[in-house]
Amino acid sequence: MDVKQRCMNCMQDMRGFEVCLHCGWIEGSAPRELSHLVPRTLLAERYMIGNSIGFGGFGITYRAWDTKLDVQVAVKEFFPSGLVSRSPETEDVIIYSGDRRTQYEAALGRFLAEARNMAKFNDQPHILSVIDYFEANRTAYIVMEFLDGQTLKSTLANSGDKLPVDVAISLILPVCDALNVIHKEGIIHRDISPDNIFITSDKRVKLIDFGAARLAQGEKEETLSVILKPGYAPPEQYRSKSRQGPYTDIYALGATLYRMVTGVVPEESVDRLVKDELVRPSEANVVVPEPISRAILRAMALNSSVRFQDVAAFRKALTGKFLVATPEDELARRRKRRLLVSVAAAVLLTAGVTALVLLQTVFKPVERIDSEAIQPDQLTIWLPDNEADQQFAYLYAAKERFTSDYPDLSLDIKRMPQADYTDRLVQAGAAKTMPNVFPLEQPSAQTDALAADLELLLQSAELDDFLFLNEYERWFAGKHVLPLGFSVPLLYVNQYVLNEQQIQLPESRVPAEQIYAALSGLANLDRLIVSPLQLTSIALQNNEQVRRAKQDPFAAAYAQTAADNLDQLAQVYLQDERIDSAFTRFAEEQVAAYLGDASEFDAVQEALPGYYGVLPAPGDQTYCARFTDFWSVSRAGTDNQQQASMLFLINLLSDETQDEMHVQQDRSLPLNRRVFTQYISVKRPELAFLDAYLTRMTFYGEAQMALDVQNQQIHDQVLLDPAYNKDALIDFITTEVP
């Protein structure tokens, strides 16, 4: 049948009449809204647009006909209200100027990302299939399978607002399967609710509308608002900067099931944070079995770490595979600290003096913080005030979670002038007015005297969950500071300069050694410049190479570069004394490569968008990495305050806080192993090599400040010396650096 004979409202045959006999639509009728496309508009020379079937703040969905496949489809047009408009009976959108244009372009990219996200799952039976997506009319479109049926929201409205428990479970399980698939791809839906679960006329369940979806860790919220559905959105979605993951969808899915079996929309999660009055499902509806009731409550836990961490676990709980504890019981269980060897100790005590000696030595129980024994108290935290609020946003979020877990503890955050921050700490120590918890730019003997021994913290934390901390005492013998992040040397490559030298940067699958070999073919002046941050690292780790220069082609070139480029750096400093001149020379395309630090990744991206490469530092020698974000506990506090403060520092190593610090705010690299894995797989896939590269790192921990002093000495006493010469530099490296 000729598509021109089809009704643009129901896609049935109009049989040549001006009025559709099936739905009453009149040929030539205007669109439902003046800004919508006129019915019979042809897109991509293939899709005949019909009437709109839905529209909201971000887009318009049309019924349409695919003239190529001869099937009915749904076409979603990106049309964010407030950023664009359209004149009646035209096709191109009008994009507003200024900041709104910037917002529109960013949001358009996310709309196309939605299409790509959905298209990945076309073989998944419970996810809406994408047929096509394209840009046209200064906007973009997604073509999807057309579903005949109704949303779960409509189903509930037609069923007295709730469903039998077995029916509800049968509808939720396919959604679990769909979410399990998308979560494995690192994507979260972020808009699970009865509106976005569709039940077709042949009883298939489909998850729809990926408009709010994003990578589980990595994508930043843009200025375009996310529409939250009260009752279904967890607390973390109300915060502009928050860690989100599969558990975000699990909360919404639990809330949806709560609605299905109780007939009541749950109270808003942010209201529950103030006073949680959520009625247990088994109390709201006595026919709800206790295992199902507990599973729903666990999915809807306000503390994201207490929820099911993957949808497969939620599914098992719903199908009776195991009985879960309620959120309250789970939190109580986690707070209990037991001595693992207490039974063995009791047995040994009966064996006499020998056993007693063994108990006090070999079998001595590990002392841990007993969180149940912590008494109500108030803790004070100092922050240096030169940091933008966003820089310490992670701390305020961590405070919120901590006081939720320990409501009898109060945390007071005070901002102090940065200029004399350390002096104020020393003065507070003398006056016995120290804060209980405080950050440090670098550990030093001066601040160590103010800090408590963190042995109890180390015994209470699961150190194997964190990179490098299982060797903590190797780096921090005094045990006075806890780092929350780290950074490593990286080799950044300028593709533009390499192209000028007719050297192509290989794909990531090509061994990095080939790139090093390519770089070694350049003259020293064009090859590599070294960040001042890495002066000590090179001096410490390459003494032998500087002295005897290995014969390996690039190792030799690199060894000489350790001296040659420090020499070049000196010449630049002598001219303008710019501390950032090394990076500036790289960014201004004067050199092909720059040995810098992981903390400079964003700056490299901004300076060289699209034509930079990042590699491990060359050679196979050990490099000096750096710990970052140091925190200490005051030794002046009471035992109760010290233990509570240490619990708070352990909280700063949690998945949530490490994600907020390092994934969302890019402070440095996360020490938390789980967050680090997400960081290199989702946020920075270019740094996937870090997993193996870390074996080449060493740290100087408490000596880090001394190394920074060494850096400053190289810079001040050698590079900026009016009598500077290269021999003095090499002599300093080979004799003064330990």
Of 656, 650, 700, the C-alpha closest to 482 is 650
pLDDT tens digits, 377-399: 999 999 887 644 456 678 888 89
Q: What is the pLDDT of residues 20-38, one digit of tens each?
A: 999 999 999 999 999 999 9
Residue 6 vs residue 351, higher pLDDT? 6
Q: Does the pLDDT value for residue 470 go beyond 80? A: yes
List helix spans (H) across 25-89: none
pLDDT digits (tens, 9 = 90+) for 600-613: 888 888 888 767 88
pLDDT recorded at residue 209? 82
Backbone angles phi, psi at 486, to 5 degrees: -155, 170
Range from 191-195, 416-420, 485-489, 657-661 carrying the lowest mean pLDDT: 416-420
Per DSSP, the three-state class of 544 is helix
- For residue 419, the model assigns a pLDDT of 81
Q: How far is CA 735 from the centre of its chain?
A: 44
Contact in structure between 173 and 315 (CB atoms under 8 Å): yes
User: Does this model's pTM top 0.85?
Assistant: no
The continuous run of DSSP H or E covering 528 comes out as strand 528-530
**CA-wise closest residue to 634 among 642, 626, 623:** 642
Q: Residue 365 corresponds to which tokens in the numbers above?
A: 């129980």
Name the residue with tokens 């809406």: 128
pLDDT at residue number 705 = 62
**Per-residue pLDDT at 169:** 96
Query: Is the predicted pLDDT of residue 519 greater than 60, yes or no?
Result: no
Q: Which pLDDT band, with edges at 50, 70 and 90, does 354 fall under?
A: very low
Domains of the chain: 3-145 (3.30.200.20), 149-335 (1.10.510.10), 374-483+629-661 (3.40.190.10), 489-624+703-735 (3.40.190)
The vertex-596 CA angle with 591 and 600, nearest 5°, equals 105
Whether 409 shows a pLDDT value over 90: the answer reads yes
The SS3 call for residue 407 is coil
- 434 CB-contact burial (10 Å; exposed 0-12 / middle 13-18 / buried 19+): buried
State the Cα–Cα distance between residues 62 and 143, nearest whole angstrom.
10
Q: Positive or negative, the Cα torsion across 536, 542, 547, 552? A: negative
C-alpha 647/C-alpha 396 separation (Å) is 16
Nearest to 413 by CA among 398, 430, 428: 398
> Residue 54: helix, strand or coil by DSSP?
strand
Helix (H, G, I), strand (E, B) or coil at 112: helix
pLDDT tens digit string along 412-443?
999 888 888 888 999 999 999 999 999 987 77
| Neighbouring-strand partners of residue 630 | 440, 483
Q: N- to C-terminal Cα distance for the chain? A: 86
